[in-house]
């Protein structure tokens, strides 16, 4: 029997200096990340962390990658987090990263803008 696990983090708050405008790079702002990891396997995992995706480490990874910026585009931030997850967690077959920017410097009223990327192993 084939099974798929979905390990996820939702609404991870990240502070970063990402954006194209000088104020974004000097003042920084908050971003929110959703990170979803899919693990496909033929049998249930053991009851140890060696056989699991540590969501605490996923959060640490996202924070560290954001701190390594600044990035002009949140697409770049999402891409780097996605690649970091795939490199760090060999159990993950697919990762989906969604970055939301609640204080985008645009003149419209909205909750947030954002991007979502998905990476899969060949």
Mean pLDDT of 29-37: 97
Give first-to-last CA distance, the chain, whole Å. 21
User: Could you say which architecture CATH assigns to the domain 3-120?
Assistant: 2-Layer Sandwich (3.30)
Contact 119, 95 (CB under 8 A): yes
Active-site annotation holder among 25, 30, 57, 101: 101
Domain range list for the chain = 3-120
pLDDT at 8: 97
Give the predicted TM-score (pTM) of the model: 0.92
Structure-token pair, residue 82 = 């996605």
Contact 16, 66 (CB under 8 A): yes
Q: For the chain, give the percent of residues with pLDDT over 90.
A: 68
Q: How confident is the model at residue 62 (pLDDT cuts 50, 70, 90)?
A: very high
Q: For the chain, give the percent of residues with pLDDT over 70.
A: 100
**57 included as an active-site residue:** no
């Amino acid at each position: 029997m084939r099974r798929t696990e979905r390990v996820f983090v939702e609404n991870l708050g990240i502070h970063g200096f990402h954006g194209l405008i000088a104020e974004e790079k000097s003042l920084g702002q908050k971003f929110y990340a959703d990170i979803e990891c899919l693990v496909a396997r033929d049998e249930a995992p053991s009851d140890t962390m060696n056989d699991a995706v540590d969501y605490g480490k996923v959060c640490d990874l996202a924070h560290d990658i954001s701190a390594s910026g600044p990035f002009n585009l949140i697409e770049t931030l999402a891409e780097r987090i996605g690649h970091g997850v795939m490199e760090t967690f060999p159990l993950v077959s697919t990762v989906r990263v969604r970055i939301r920017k609640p204080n985008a410097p645009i003149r419209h009223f909205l909750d947030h803008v954002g991007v979502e990327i998905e990476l899969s192993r060949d």
